[in-house]
Amino acid sequence: MPQAAEPLILDGIALRDLMVTRIGARMAAAGNPKICLATVLVGDDAPSHTYVRNKHKFAAAAGLQSRNEVLPATAPQREVEDLVRQLASDPTVHGILVQQPLPPHLDNDAVLRLLPAEKDVDGLTTGSLGRLVRGEPGLVPCTPLGVLRLLEHYKIPTSGRHAVIVGRSTLVGTPLAILLSRKGVDATATIAHSRTTNLAELCRSADIVVGASGQAKMIGAEHCKPGATLIDVGISRTESGIVGDIDFEAVKGIAGAVTPMPGGTGPMTIACLLENTLSAAALQGTLT
């Protein structure tokens, strides 16, 4: 039998770097206005510190200003809320990201409620998600936006196509379904989850499958129809390292396009955070 063709690799690192370059060019063309991304980091979680450092590294590369506010893991609720209020009222701060997860003693929802929708560059507040549902100008969660940018850049057809998203979180699954079904993208989006019956059969009916459940290698050959596009958002830490929801080796001879893990949607999340920061500045009248 002839060997199956290698799938198109949807390289998030390459696209992230391209987007950073384009953002830098847009900033230069606008006269390098002072646009600031602020992060709030509470505690000593090592991955969170790494993520925040990367965000500021790429913000600087794109010509954005940034500030990182760090509080100890023991910080009380009032101190965290006072800091977020201060940033929210500061006209020199255009985007605010509260790094997740917060220490367990803190009320995360109460902190997020203090973020104005115009500065919510993570797109996670009730105001931001409400604007997304209503189709109003606002800021979209970074990971779903990154999936959309990958599909656009690699010219993966979406109009009239069936997309199955495995995972229904407000961080990825639900907002991504809304984005994919929007006018102009025009996919038919189905959200699947742990109680979905015949999941493999449902996924095999899809032109685009997005794994966003955080279950290691749950999407394999039996979930993939020939030529389908597979997007991996889930992350699981195993003894052999970080793996995604998609079993890359199992599907690479079947899929038409697939994201690597790592190097796929992760870098796109950072790129879209920077895109959201520019969008936030535009919403506030700082950038045209």
CATH code of the domain containing 65:
3.40.50.10860
Residue 30 has pLDDT above 60, yes or no: yes
Q: Active-site residue among 11, 99, 119, 245?
A: 99
Distance (Å, whole) CA 82 – CA 112: 12
Residue 2 has pLDDT above 50, yes or no: no
Query: Chain-centre distance of CA 29, in angstroms?
Result: 27
Residue 5 has pLDDT above 80, yes or no: no
Q: Active-site residue among 122, 207, 245, 247?
A: 122
Whether residue 91 is found in the same domain as residue 36: yes
Provide the residue range defining the domain that includes 91.
31-116
Whether residue 61 is found in the same domain as residue 102: yes
Shortest CA distance to 19 belongs to which of 62, 60, 52? 62
Q: Active-site residue among 55, 119, 217, 252?
A: 55
Whether residue 97 is found in the same domain as residue 156: no
pTM of the model: 0.95
For the stretch 252-272, pLDDT in tens is 999 999 999 999 999 999 999
Residue 77 has pLDDT above 70, yes or no: yes
CATH number of the domain enclosing 226: 3.40.50.720
Shortest CA distance to 122 belongs to which of 170, 89, 173, 181? 170
> So what's the pLDDT on residue 237?
80
Give yes or no for a contact between 228 and 208, defined as CB atoms under 8 angstroms apart.
yes
Q: Count other C-beta atoms under 10 Å from residue 28's C-beta.
A: 10
For the stretch 123-164, pLDDT in tens is 999 999 999 999 999 999 999 999 999 999 999 999 999 999
Q: Give the 3-state secondary structure of residue 204.
A: helix
Residue 248 has pLDDT above 70, yes or no: yes
Q: Give the 3-state secondary structure of residue 242.
A: strand
Distance (Å, whole) CA 288 – CA 273: 18
Whether 225 is a known active-site residue: answer: no
Whether residue 107 is found in the same domain as residue 150: no
> So what's the pLDDT on residue 234?
93
Question: Who's near 213: CB < 8 A, 6+ residues apart?
Answer: 166, 167, 193, 194, 234, 245
> So what's the pLDDT on residue 19?
98
Q: Residue 3: pLDDT band by 50, 70, 90 thresholds?
A: very low
Shortest CA distance to 267 belongs to which of 13, 10, 9? 13
Shortest CA distance to 209 belongs to which of 151, 163, 148? 163
Whether residue 49 is found in the same domain as residue 86: yes
Shortest CA distance to 158 belongs to which of 229, 241, 108, 226? 229
The percentage of residues in the chain with a pLDDT greater than 90, rounded to a whole number, is: 93
Whether residue 43 is found in the same domain as residue 101: yes
Q: Count other C-beta atoms under 10 Å from residue 33's C-beta.
A: 15
Q: Residue 4: pLDDT band by 50, 70, 90 thresholds?
A: low
Domain count, the chain: 2
- 35-49, 83-97, 230-244, 273-287: range with lowest mean pLDDT: 230-244
The percentage of residues in the chain with a pLDDT greater than 70, rounded to a whole number, is: 99
* Assigned domain for 271 exists: no
Q: What DSSP string runs through 136-200? A: -S----HHHHHHHHHHHHTT---TT-EEEEE---TTTHHHHHHHHHSTTT--EEEEE-TT-TTHH
Whether 99 is a known active-site residue: answer: yes
The kind and range of the H/E element at 263 are none
> So what's the pLDDT on residue 222?
97
Whether 55 is a known active-site residue: answer: yes
Residue 174 has pLDDT above 50, yes or no: yes
* Assigned domain for 46 exists: yes
Distance (Å, whole) CA 260 – CA 248: 7
